[in-house]
Amino acid sequence: MKRLLIIFVFCLNIALGFCQSNPEKKLGSWFTYSGTHKISEKISIHTCSQLWLYEVGDNFNLIFLSSGLNYYISPKLIVNVSYGYLDIDSAFNTNSNHTFENRIFEQITYKHTISKLPIDHRFRVEQRFLNTPVTNKTNHRLRYRLGTSIKLDKYLFIRLNNEFFTTLNKGFTTENRFYSALGINISKSNNLQMGYVNRKINGLNLHRIEIGYYIKTNHIKKTKT
């Protein structure tokens, strides 16, 4: 536990250092819950919620709620269809109208190894229906994420991924998110991750601390023999 605390404090200091080098920006925070609930050998239900804050523990940015179905073509290849709802405050420290989004997205996840290093790819297509008191619009976005998890011991691991976004009907507006975290295996079916996100969007270079809880459950009834 002492080693875990040292690593986390080290990562936090790096994030704070980035923030301090850009005084016009705040160090924000993201909180994530993600669950995968298996209901058959080929199908699972995925649930996710996120809370984004412009500052650490304060200043609401957005809330994201989603649920969908995973279909396992093979243990390495998974397809997903999901629906998400978002309440978004795009203005920092000012009063403004919120944007409410209904999102439908489809994705493919593929996993493999390179020299025993686990690699995962996620490709996602999103249809975003955005509503404010004065406008309603639709846009389409593509996302690609490349990631890996590096096992340190029985309980600890490092999670790394980078995700690239492009919005097709905005002249290929792009976004990039880099994520690094220390993970703790609480049990075989759930883990806690504490890390740092660097988000580059619309000319901004944003720094966020993220805390995430990830759980898997199995609801397949075992046949008695």
6 has a pLDDT exceeding 60: no
- What is the predicted pLDDT for the residue at 202? 84
Q: What is the mean pLDDT of residues 14-27?
A: 51
83 has a pLDDT exceeding 90: yes
Burial class (CB in 10 A: 0-12, 13-18, 19+), 120: middle
Confidence band (pLDDT; 50, 70, 90) for 23?
very low
Its pTM stands at 0.86
149 has a pLDDT exceeding 80: yes
Q: Could you give the domains of the chain?
A: 2-218 (2.40.160.40)
- Beta-carbon contacts of 19 under 8 Å, excluding residues fewer than 6 positions away, are 25, 26, 27, 207
Structure tokens at 31: 């909180």
